[in-house]
Amino acid sequence: MPEPVLIVLHQETSTPGRVGQFLQARGIPLDIRRPRFGERLPETLSEHAGAVVFGGPMSANDPDDFVKQEIDWLAVPLKEQKPFLGICLGAQMLAKHLGARVAPHPEGKAEIGYYPLRATLDGHRVCPHWPGHVYQWHREGFELPAGSRMLAEGDMFRVQAFRHGPAAFGIQFHPEVTHAMMCRWTTRGHERLALPGARPRVDHFAERPMYDGAIRAWLTEFLDGWLAGPRAEARPGRGAERVTGMAMAAGPYAAG
């Protein structure tokens, strides 16, 4: 039997969505753990194919013990160079572990709904086809960690995807969201839709048929490469160096 992928979730009702569906369709077992409710994370990933840390309503800056423990635990996949993917909160935890700042938007804005995404040259080296819009649900962003490569950027929160070393990735957006998850999030989290910058609930569903096909195709392409394991760092050309340098100087938010 193939080695399982460790799935870290943060709420009782959370699911791994399309990421879980993708893995199970390929016969890969899911080892689902919820540290928030006392489940321990493994001391090594030697018996796992990789790990995915998903999102949640909490912040990477929260003082809860489980948040600190998860952030510290990220030393395991980084040291062992096992495939790691952090999604939203998971990406913010990875950024914080690597010493980058995680913080709300200075104007209190949130990305909730579909927003534009631009892949960098390094991003196209990792995955040739990126969606032009992605689904978001967050009000905190993060700086690009030192030594990391910017893979995709946005307008409101600049750092949208990054890679650190040969096997660790963080993405701010939510490619895993199914229609059922969107219904649940926009119902249970409806108060977030009133935040500055958030899109109206009706737009979430009206725009899903427009953008979701490209997101699903990207996720399949990305995860196929991700599961292949660690890859040597690609040597960036001038364009990639210029994009990365701009991102590090600008921090997590667009000018203005």
The structure tokens listed for 214 are 């490209």
Residue written as token pair 């938010």: 253
Virtual torsion, Cα 223, 138, 155, 179, nearest 10 deg: 60
How many CB atoms lie under 10 A from the CB of residue 241? 14
Q: Report, as residue numbers or ranges, the catalytic residues.
A: 88, 174, 176
Q: Give the chain's count of helices (H) and strands (E).
A: 8, 12
Helix (H) or strand (E) holding 169, with range, is strand 168-171
Q: Is the dihedral of CA 224, 226, 232, 237 positive or negative?
A: positive
| Residues 6+ away with beta carbon under 8 Å from 247 | 144, 150, 153, 158, 159
Q: Is the dihedral of CA 84, 163, 210, 138 positive or negative?
A: positive
